[in-house]
Amino acid sequence: MSDEMSGSENGSDESVAIGVLTPVLSELNELVALGLLGNYAIGGGVAVLYYAEPVLTYDFDVVCTFPQQGALIDPSPVFEHLKKKGYVFGEEDRIDIAGIPVQFVPASTGLMEEALENAYGVEIGGVKTRVLSVEYLIATLLDLYRPKDRAKLAVLLDAANQAVDDAALTSILAKHGLTEKWARFNEA
């Protein structure tokens, strides 16, 4: 889903993907409006979809903050609200919203918090949302470095190469100790 596709409703596979995502995005925006969820942005495989061709992904990662203060994060108000609306828990800690397994990923201090702070405001299918920048998405996938993250990273780099700000990426990777991992990934 690139910027030019975000408003497209031409019956293509891309507009189908947009139609599938809009109920989830609407629910997320409602959670923010109700004060149950702080800031959020699309991360993981769905964020890769924003910049590149479709990739296999099992869930919709929502990098977020919760309004509660303190060392312990309590997502239960979000889950309780969604359960009241009829949504159910799926595998692990995912909640099924409109047929999409959604995982809330707290933006811990460091890379994820910075990625969330620097996410872009976009519109997908008429719904305002935020998505991690391509540079932070690269860094978060590199940080996790699971086989599925490396595969998404390869697809992302192939499709979004011209959109990557190399200086910003280099700075982010250096700041978060990912320069050597980046070099290893590029050698493979």
> Is CATH 3.40.720 correct for 3-132?
no
Rounded Cα–Cα distance for residues 166 and 163 (Å): 9
Q: Where are the domains of the chain?
A: 3-132
What is the predicted pLDDT for the residue at 9? 33
The pLDDT tens digits along the chain (188 residues) read 333 333 333 333 455 456 778 899 999 999 999 999 999 999 998 898 888 876 667 789 999 998 876 677 888 899 999 999 999 887 778 899 988 899 999 898 799 999 999 999 999 889 999 999 999 999 999 999 999 899 889 888 888 666 889 999 999 999 999 999 999 999 97
Helix (H, G, I), strand (E, B) or coil at 80: helix
Q: What is the pLDDT of residue 10?
A: 32
Give the span between the Cα atoms of 157 and 173, in whole angstroms.
15
State residue 158's pLDDT score: 85
Q: Which helix (H) or strand (E) holds 82?
A: helix 76-84
pLDDT for the residue 155: 87
Identity of the amino acid at 2 = S
The CA distances from residue 86 to 20, 79, 98, 136, 159, in Å, are 18, 11, 10, 34, 38
Amino acid at residue number 163: A
